[in-house]
Amino acid sequence: MNEIQQLTQIINQFREERDWKQFHKPKDMVISLMLEASEVAELFQWKTEEEMEAMRTPQGNEDLADELSDVLAYLLQIAHDHNIDLKEAFLRKMEKSAKKYPIEKARGNKKKYTEY
């Protein structure tokens, strides 16, 4: 069992023990994922570079880690509910991205692949 599968097992057990799966419809799970992602964004919203650098404290990192963990929990559950192997999907997507963004064209370049 890889680490992603272990984390999925943990979050699924958490959900099952609370009988929450009945509430976890795909639409609601995706909305919840986006809401949690917006909480990550909120930590950085309207911050100057100096303020963001000051967030690199144990407390700032804990807040960020908590919000990222919430995002991960929803992501793992959505993938599980749709029978998606995230490790496989990620590796496959990286192969596609490598073709879209070959090093010789993309290195140091912020353009989208459709622009070159």
Question: Residues 77-92: pLDDT tens digits?
Answer: 999 999 999 999 999 9
Q: Residue 58 to residues 32, 35, 50, 55, 66: CA-CA distances in angstroms?
A: 26, 24, 16, 8, 12
67, 15: one domain: yes
pLDDT value at residue 31: 99
20, 71: one domain: yes
Distance CA 4, CA 81 (A): 14
**Count of domains in the chain?**
2
Domain hosting 70: range is: 3-84
pLDDT value at residue 69: 98
13-27, 54-68, 90-104: which has the minimum mean pLDDT? Answer: 54-68
Question: Residues 55-80: pLDDT tens digits?
Answer: 899 988 999 999 999 999 999 999 99
pTM comes to 0.89
- Return the half-sphere exposure (C-beta side, CA atoms, 13 A cut-off) of residue 60: 11
CB 97 within 8 A of CB 40: no
Please state, as a whole number, how many other Cβ atoms lie within 10 Å of the Cβ of residue 25. Answer: 11
